[in-house]
A and B are shown apart, each in its own frame.
Chain A
């Protein structure tokens, strides 16, 4: 990061530029295989999808140029707007919740205990399970009208609860958010390694000065951890916007499109309804949304992310 900023700020002489290029050339040679893959398997398909987004294309015949028609259709498509709303709600509730959970568990698991490796593994397992069919069935069982959650609530409240948490519009999205939250494993691992990087003597000094636990957390842990939080936040937002399999498998976008996440809607248009052109156009809108949020977070980062000098 520092190097990049320095390079931007200084004006280089011609000789220094040539030396820099020569140094970089070796680097480019090393990443050439990756670069080839990026061009052939990512960039070209991406550009092709940009082209397709201006066409009517059903994946069987040849694409027909329709100009901005797909983008116009999108603005008139009620389900599109609903899916945008659902996705924003999903992202803005899920990401903070998942980060807080991951950080909380990481703080417990960063301490030294017997068998800590086992615990770290166990808490990572949900992330490996992802949005599989087995999880969908479990979720439907847990949160269904006859499920375990209602069983517990009935015991606590002393009366029969048979609310279908995954089936009702008011709660279906929250049950998916809870599932996403349960997948805190990879953020947690990154937090653990971040926590271990914080020099222990800061805490020792703070203890001697009589700092309380909340003070140590807010004055030392959080600022020292901010680059890691920053990374997890950006990654979390990007993956949350792209979330797809949970809602596909568990609710299939229902009830009444209340869990129709943006990526699921793209999939449905493209692969279920064969409107590839329309699906491509929506993918580009999704890319724009993610880009805007990433730029915003990067822009704000100078205010709250602290790098150790």
Chain B
């Protein structure tokens, strides 16, 4: 058995060596993804290879492994030609000089984004250069289970609902049905960003040296969530310790009326609700409409490594993803709404009820959105975790909203200055 394995491995190694020797420098491309996302990328890749004749060598990993791998490759000056970047990491990559500035390529027309609105591209602008092309736009939304709410004799939230009205709505739904008015799985640091923006702030100040919101805003938010929590109108915080997957969320099981999520995940929820799909009502976060506190965010970026020697191929791939009709019909909005308005129209017309519902919301979202600040600082992930802990300590009754908010703000300021 062992011998057989050894022989097989040797043969496999020889084959791969000779294959590498024969081809002339295929374009190296990396992405992260789940199994279903990988199917999309591999499908697009096959179509791209067929359409352009450019040879592609793909590598793909899960989210965590992807960043470990990219960091390792970056350390060895061996990043792939074409790679995906996330909002959370792009800034530190740019500051290390690892990504190529795409501005000259856009100006020369090599990358064709002529019909894309400036605001949609601006996400990839860092320190005056353009380092990533938005692969599709994403946004936050509140989705409500229309059937549950109407059965309770209530009305679904509107875009103009204020925060106080929202709290009352959640409490009332719970009193009438005994179910949860809201699934708190979506209450995280990213959601709080909208609340900070509703009050004219942001998570961080402009030069990212301190918290960008008033401590009182966080105190009020914690206090409100605690009132809903203690009334039993949202699930007990202990239920959120274990990540049980979207399939097992109270919202997915029809036991909570509403949830905050991202537009791309919202279609997952719609499908999980089986016979209730298509019934989901999309609105912006409560209180966000008056101040245009929402934002539209690139789902991910397509970037080119600064060390790439295969720039033309990487550029061709960006163009294919952004502007090719067949490609966009195949992706069908699963990576966010296409950044080219022309493609968005074509795709929107072709979709089923679930995704069509989400696409329709995206234009509403644009109305209530304003510019997003710079990409997050490197310590954002750590702060997001600390936010969860602060919120949990309030809900577990371990800290008052005031104490938790103050120590969290101190934690932010300390982390940003280290």
Interface of A toward B, CB cutoff 8 Å: 58-61, 136-137, 139-140, 144-145, 164, 166-169, 172, 250-252, 254-257, 268, 271-274
Contact = CB atoms under 8 A, between A and B. Distances in A.
Contacts of B243: 252
Contacts of A255: 237-238, 241, 392, 396
B71 interface: yes
A273 B392 contact: no
A141 to B, nearest CB: 8
Contacts of A274: 71, 92, 378
B379 interface: yes
Contacts of A137: 244-245
A172 B237 CA distance: 13
A44 B388 CA distance: 38
Chain B contact residues: helix, strand, loop or mixed: helix
B392 A254 contact: yes
A166 B242 contact: yes
B242 A167 contact: yes
A273 B385 CA distance: 10
Contacts of B46: none
Interface string B378-393: 1101100100110011
A254 B241 contact: yes
Contact of A145 (B74, B236, B398): B236
A256 B392 contact: yes
Nearest to B389: A256
Nearest to B388: A254
B239 A164 contact: yes
B150 interface: no
A164 B243 CA distance: 14
20 contacts: A61-B96, A137-B244, A144-B242, A145-B236, A145-B238, A145-B239, A167-B237, A167-B239, A172-B241, A251-B242, A252-B241, A254-B388, A255-B241, A255-B396, A256-B393, A256-B396, A256-B398, A271-B68, A273-B378, A274-B378
B17 interface: no
A136 B392 CA distance: 21
Contacts of A252: 241, 243
A145 to B, nearest CB: 6
A136 B242 contact: yes
Interface string B28-50: 00000000000000000000000
B98 interface: yes
Contacts of B71: 59-60, 274
A167 B68 contact: no
B93 interface: yes
Given A164-B239, A250-B242, A58 B378 contact: yes
Contact of A58 (B64, B92, B381, B392): B92
Given A145-B239, A254-B392, A271-B64, 17 more contacts: A58-B92, A59-B75, A136-B242, A144-B239, A145-B236, A145-B238, A164-B239, A167-B236, A167-B238, A167-B242, A172-B241, A255-B237, A256-B396, A257-B389, A268-B385, A272-B381, A274-B92
Nearest to A250: B242
Contacts of B378: 58, 273-274
Contacts of A167: 236-242
A271 B70 CA distance: 12
B380 to A, nearest CB: 9
A273 B241 contact: no
Contacts of A166: 241-242
Contacts of A273: 378-379, 381-382
B242 A140 contact: yes
Given A273-B379, A273-B382, A164 B238 contact: yes
A254 B75 CA distance: 32
Contact of B75 (A60, A140, A145, A164): A60
A250 B243 CA distance: 7
B56 to A, nearest CB: 26
B96 to A, nearest CB: 5
A68 to B, nearest CB: 16
Nearest to A272: B381
Interface string B248-288: 00000000000000000000000000000000000000000
Contacts of B239: 144-145, 164, 167
A255 B391 CA distance: 11
A234 to B, nearest CB: 31
Contacts of B244: 137, 140
A272 B379 CA distance: 9
Contacts of A172: 241
Task: Report, nearest first, the 10 A-B pairs whose CB atoms are least far apart.
Answer: A167-B238, A164-B238, A167-B241, A140-B242, A273-B382, A59-B71, A255-B241, A254-B241, A168-B238, A60-B96
Contacts of A139: 242
A167 B244 CA distance: 12
Contacts of B393: 256
Contacts of A136: 242
Nearest to B97: A61
Contacts of B379: 273
A167 B184 CA distance: 15
A254 B389 CA distance: 8
Interface string B358-392: 00000000000000000000110110010011001
A274 B243 CA distance: 23
Interface string B64-107: 10011001001100000000000000001100101000000000
Given A166-B242, A255-B238, A272-B382, A60 B92 contact: yes
Residue of A60, A166, A251 with highest tally of chain B CB at under 10 A: A60
Contacts of A268: 382, 385
Nearest to B235: A145
A251 B388 CA distance: 13
Residue of A58, A251, A254 with highest tally of chain B CB at under 10 A: A254
